[in-house]
Every structure is written in structure tokens, then in C-alpha cells.
Structure 1
């Protein structure tokens, strides 16, 4: 599974317009019973491009009446865009920690066995060197902020996250958690007080002087000390828990989880509270919305957080044999909330510094994120001066 199969096709340079025949040739080695006989011209292909990948949903016609269905009618193809070395960014400080594409395949395949992720049909490489995957197509929609106000969806999300964090992933060698924070602290120090960022904010009409001048690096150090002091648990973390990466199945069958997690390109070892706190924080933001980056909804309530943590602890304990309480998980998540914000700050300031982050809506969202950060520090008794 983790060794790519060579597919004898060459993709167009832009990866945006592969022919139906190319798509068909990519799929058939992994689904060899019914897909080879499908006429490529009958495939319905829908693109879904992101900043890091080019993705396609591919649908074939159903078989004629009376013929059994032994393979899926739809699949999801992900083409990994090649990393560019000519214009490195500061987010590359984490490059030595994230999984390789082979490791990501192994992680996805193992997580799929929990019922909370998409199955991996196959891993491939084309003649032009493009790596990619053929995954299970999930009939689902992305999580909306209001969804987590539903007790059932909130509990399902908590259990899915516990399953991911508790993965053994014995075929992968996870880096020490401290290496992540060494990199994050170093990156945050670079941006602290950077005049270029202040100028860019003024040019965009949304001043960011206060947050740029804040010492997030010192804050991260103190939060990590607090987490160590409460014996915080670590595990495999997603690090990208925006709600677009949480899917809600449209028509789950009996016994099937309603919630699935996707996109593990930034998965690595960390405090589990990082993802949980990040999930709580992300309820208030819709970073890819064209109208506003600030979600039009209320914050996660304390009662909802505690319910999430109770459900999480129950599933974590069942998987690991630990005896953690929901309160323990809640405490870790409250500190992890700050770490997740600091990580988002680093990545957004990195994007801004590279010249691509001058959208006033992004900067308004960034300022709102800073308000949330200050409020959370105050609630935990952390000095922000």
C-alpha cells in the first residue's frame, strides 16, 4: 500500500485538465473488476482544487440492471502538487516533522479501519513524477459551525478525534513533540514586531500592529509548561482541524459513524489538547468564506466543551486502557486552544509576509483571533503583558 504503483500516463503540466482516459487509467489498477470495462467518455469528473492538491470526484454510470455491484460507483482522486523549492516559505520550518506521502497513505489506511476516515484504494505515481491517491468517495458534506451544537454530531466528532489521536501507527516513526514547539517558537520569534507586517496591514486597511507586536513565542513556552504540569497526553494530531476537514455523512448506514476526518498532510505527534482546543476555536471562523472569515454563530459553550471532552475521554480510555476523566481532557483542551491559535497565527503571518495575505477580510479575522487569544489567556490566568 505504501509503495506507489507506476501508472503509465503523463499528466498535463497544470494538472487541471487530465483526460477521461487518463483518469480511467489511474483508477483501474486499484478497482480491476468493473472499472476497466467502463467507457472513459461516460465518466463524470468534478474538480476540487486546493492550495496543496488537485482533487477530483469521479463517478461512473451504474451497471445494467441485474448485474451485481462489486466496486464503488464513485472514487476520490488526489494529485499531490509538487513542492516548489524556488520560493520557500517560513511554514517549511515544519517540513522535517510532517509525514511523507508514503507515510500519509499508511496513516490514512490505518485510520480508515476505525470507520471514521476514507478508505485508500491505492497509491500511485505517474510517468511525469506526480504522486497521488485513489480514495473512497464519501457521500458527505463539510461540518458547519452550527452542527456542533447538535449533541449527536458533537459526540461523533469527539469519538473520531479520539480514534485518530490514539492510533498506534507502528509503521510510522513519530517525531518528539518538543521538536514541533522548537520550530513554532522559532517561527513566532521571527515575526514578532516585524515592521513589514505592520505596513502590509495598513495598506490593506486593517491594522495588525498589536498582534504583530505580541510575544506569542513566550506564550507558547508557558502553555507547554502548564500542559506538562498537568500530565497532558500526546498522540497523533491532525493540526488542521478547520471544519472543512470534518465531514458529515449524508446517509450513514446503520452502525456507521456520521462523522469522518480527512486531510492528514500535517499530521504529527502533539498534545491531544492541541486538536481539541483547535476544534473549539475553529467554530468561530470560516477562513475560506468569501463574505466573512468570522462565522455568524456563537462560541462553543462551556457545557458543550465538557460534553465533547466526556465523550472523547470515554472513547480514548476504551482504546488505550487509560482512566482519564472528561475534566482532564477539558483542562488540556483549554491550554491546547491557545497553542492552536499560536500555530494559526504563525501560518497566517507567514502567508502575509510572503506577499499573499493582504485580504482585509483575512486580516479582520486575524484581529478577531487575537481577541479570542487574549480572552482565553485571561480565563486561564496567563499574563499577556
Structure 2
């Protein structure tokens, strides 16, 4: 470090030295920092695949303003099997430009430094709060309207096929049998044919709208959606379906990999969310509008279950985070099997 003393008060072995150089450089621009080399590193909970830390500095006033705190995000091992980091960074910068998330302050070989947001991360319980849920619905509609440069093709089906191919490469023969991987190619094709037709709205989607990726300022009720690792163009019905499925999870519990699908929102909750989503565009939707999107969303829960089942299978083999990915994958695959007959039968009868 060129002879400079860097004091890291917590988790000192978790912050790479190349990152401390960037952090010191940032702190050097703030006049009231007592010692730019004295970093306080606070682990943040809620991330599923990355390690996330809040970085503080002591100031003359003692209380550090929000714009002099930063977040360091260290990418988890094996995550690159799922995504393109350059695409993610481009999405991050685009969202920031449109006022949708934190600013990018720096990059390093296996992570990035972000602006600190003065807000709290939501909890599993928050997703069921009608007022908070309506705020999320409105923010998601706003998110979907952001125009990303480049192609605007649906990514969902290629992602499923690519992840299926990766899962087949890493899993054991027994795991392949349990998840029926040899027949999933055909299932994905059937699913695409049956549920992706019609005049579905295609927009930039978050694709991972679990509570840990949603923050809210308690003073202003301003909601911010963060972490765009899986963001891409997809049907908005898929994004909403994925959010509903996430209501079964509590990643801060003693058994974070266990899902409770009794917590999946009932019909009235789903209608309320979708009405709030549609009405945030400036006009009141009809009951027919709401019912149509509710129906599309239910179909896309099947795709959500398959996506995260494959994600769990792959993660089990490439990620060393303390999380039972394989059990998580089994639960998502079970839900897919339980629901597909009913959902696809309804679609066939409608045709």
C-alpha cells in the first residue's frame, strides 16, 4: 500500500487491497474525513450470491453523511456462470442515469463500489404489507419503462436453455434423474409455445425481485430497486410472477433455503398488486385489464420455478456460500411439477 496505514475495523481479510486503494482515493476528496486510511467495514446481510459491505469513515462531526458512505460488492464464486458482467455494469449505469438506483463509484477485478443509499432493505414480512406492496408495484412499473440501449429481445427462453445445458454439465447422474434434466428441453419448448403468445408487454425486467433487492427510505417512502445482475428484456408478467414466488422465501431465517408456498399471495393480493402496477401509469385499469395480467402472471410462475431450480443446481456446484442450493432447487422444481398440469391445461382449454 505504498507505506500507507489502512485500518480496517471489521472483516479485514475480506476487502481486497486493490479495493482499499480505490476507497482511500474516494475518501481523499472529502475534507472532513479524520483519517482517509481508517476504514470501518460493516458486513451487510441479504445478498444471496455476493458479499456486500458498507464502508464508513470517521469525520470531524462524528456523524458521517450518506454521501460519504459507500457499498463494496464482491462477486460470489461461480456467479459468472449465470451472467455477463459487462452487461450488468451497463445496466447499472443506465439505471443510475435514469435515477433508478445507486451511482457506480468504482470497479475492481471481482466487484464494484456503489453509492450508499440511505434506506433500509425490506424484509420478507414487508412484501405482504398492502401499502409497501403498492409502492413496490408502482416502482416496478417505473423500472419497466427504462429504455436500455441495444437489443430488446426476450431473454427468458434462451436463459432457460443455457442454464439447462450448464446444469447437465455440472450435476451428477442422480441429480440429473431427480430433476429430469434429459426431458426439460422439450418441457421448455412446450412452455414457451403455450405461454409466450399474445400481445404480452415486453420491457426491461429485473428478474430477481426478492425483498433483499428492494430498499425503502422510511422518511420519504421512496422505494429503490437494486442489483441488476439478472436484468434483461422479458415479459412484464414474468417479472411480476417472479416477485410473487419470492414471497414464499425468508432468506434471513434459520433455514433460508426452505420455502413456504402457503405464503404465495392469494388472488385478492395479486389483483391488488397488479391494479397498483397498472394504475401507476396514470389511468385506472379495468377489471378485464387486471384479470388478463393476473392470468398471464400465473402462467409465468412456471418459468420462474424452472429458472431458479436450474440456478440452484448450478450454484450447488460452483458456489461455496453457506446455503443449501440443492434443496432450494428441489423445492422450486416440485412447485413447477405441481402447478404445470393445471396451468397448461387451462391454456390448452382456452385455445
With the length of structure 1 as denominator, give the TM-score of the two structures. Answer: 0.70
Distance change in 2, residues 1:237/1:197 (3 Å): farther
- Any idea what SS the aligned residue of 1:44 has? strand
1:219-269: per-residue Cα shift (whole Å, max 9, x none)? Answer: 3323333343231111111222232212243x222xx42x32111022111
Tell me how far 1:23 sits from its aligned partner: 6.0
After superposition, the CA RMSD in angstroms is: 4.2
1:358-373 matches, within 5 Å, as 361-373=324-336
- Offset of 1:379 from its aligned partner? 3.1
Cα shift at 1:289: 4.5
Superposed, 1:275-286 pairs within 5 Å as: 275-286=239-250
Q: 5 Å matches for 1:101-116?
A: 102-111=89-98, 113-114=99-100
- Identify the match of residue 161 of structure 2 among 180, 185, 189: 185
Distance in 2 separating the partners of 1:42 and 1:193: 45
Please say if 1:176 is aligned against 2:163. no
Residue 141 (str. 1) matches residue 109 (str. 2): no
- Provide the rounded CA distance (Å) in 2 between the counterparts of 1:76 and 1:190: 31
* Corresponding residue to 2:227 among 248, 253, 263: 263
Cα distance, 1:310 vs. partner? 0.9
- Checking the alignment, whether the CA contact within 8 Å between 1:245 and 1:262 is kept in structure 2 is yes
Name the counterpart of 2:279. Answer: 314
From 133, 140, 158, the equivalent of 1:161 is 140
- 1:358–1:366 CA distance, 2 compared to 1 (3 A): farther
- 2:344 is matched with 381
TM-score by length of 2: 0.76
Q: Does the CA-based 8 Å contact 1:248-1:260 persist in structure 2?
A: yes
Give per-residue Cα distances to partners, 1:282-302, cap 9 Å, x unaligned. Answer: 111245754252245622111
Partners of 2:70 and 2:113 within 8 A in 1:
no
Cα distance change, pair 364–303 in 1 and its aligned pair in 2 (3 A): same
* Inter-CA distance 381–131: structure 2 relative to 1 (3 Å threshold): closer
Q: Which position in structure 2 is the counterpart of 1:25?
A: 24
Q: CA deviation at 1:176?
A: 1.8
1:90-145 Cα shifts (integer Å, max 9, x gaps): x73x546x65354033233035x25xx3x31x43246xx5662331333303331x
Q: What's the offset of the Cα at 1:74?
A: 2.8
Aligned partners of 2:27 and 2:36 also within 8 Å: no
Give, in angstroms, the shift of residue 153 of structure 1: 1.0
Q: What is the count of residue pairs matched by the alignment? A: 334
> In the aligned structure 1, how far is the partner of 2:288 from the partner of 2:282?
10
- Per-residue CA deviation, residues 172-220 of structure 1 (Å, 9 max, x unaligned), is 214521x54134225426757998252x6xxxxxxx8443357333333
TM-fit CA distance, 1:33: 5.0
1:100 paired residue number: 87
Unaligned runs of 5+ residues in structure 1 are 1-8, 201-207
